[in-house]
Copies of this chain bind each other. A is one copy, B any other.
Amino acid sequence: MKCSTHLEDSEQVDSLRDCASRQVLDRIGDAWSVLIVTQLRAGPLRFTELARKMDGVTPKMLTQTLRGLERDGLVTRTVHAVVPPRVDYELTPLGRSLEGVVDAITAWADSHIGDVLAARGSYDSKASTAKNRS
C-alpha cells in the first residue's frame, strides 16, 4: 500500500482506490475534522466560536486541524484587519461536498451505534468471565 503518486498499471487500481480512501480517512478520521465540518455547515464561524461549540478542543488542536483542512482546500480562512482581530472559517464548495460522507457516517452511527455498543458489552463480559475461569 505504497500510495505512489502515479500508477500506470491498471491492476493496481484497487490499491489506488484504497489509497485514496486512506488519504481521505487520514484527513477526516482524526478527532476534530468531522466536528468542525459539522459546525461549519450552518455558516462561517470565527475561531473562538468554533472553540466554544466544540467542548474539549484545545486551541492548538483547533488551529492544527483548521490548517489541515485549509491546506486540503476544504475550508477558507479569512483574516479581517480589525482590532480586535477577527478570523472567519468557512466551508469551500469542496468542503461542502464532504457533507454527503459526513451524513453517511452520522446516519450509520445513529442507527447502528446501539448494536456496536451491545456487541462490545457482550464481547467484554465474555472476555472477563473467561479470564475469571483461569
Interface residues of A (CB under 8 A from B): 1-2, 15, 17-18, 20-25, 27-31, 34-35, 38, 54-57, 70-74, 94, 97-98, 100-102, 104-106, 108-110, 112-113, 115-116, 118-120, 122-124
Contacts of A24 in B (CB 8 A): 105, 108-109, 113, 116
On whether A71 and B119 interact (CB within 8 A), knowing A1-B56, A109-B21, the answer reads yes
Q: Is the CB of A106 within 8 A of B31?
A: no
Number of identical monomers bound together in the oligomeric complex: 2
In the complex, besides A17-B110, A24-B116, A97-B108, 10 extra interface pairs with C-beta distance below 8 angstroms are: A15-B55, A20-B109, A21-B35, A21-B38, A21-B102, A25-B28, A25-B34, A97-B112, A98-B108, A104-B105
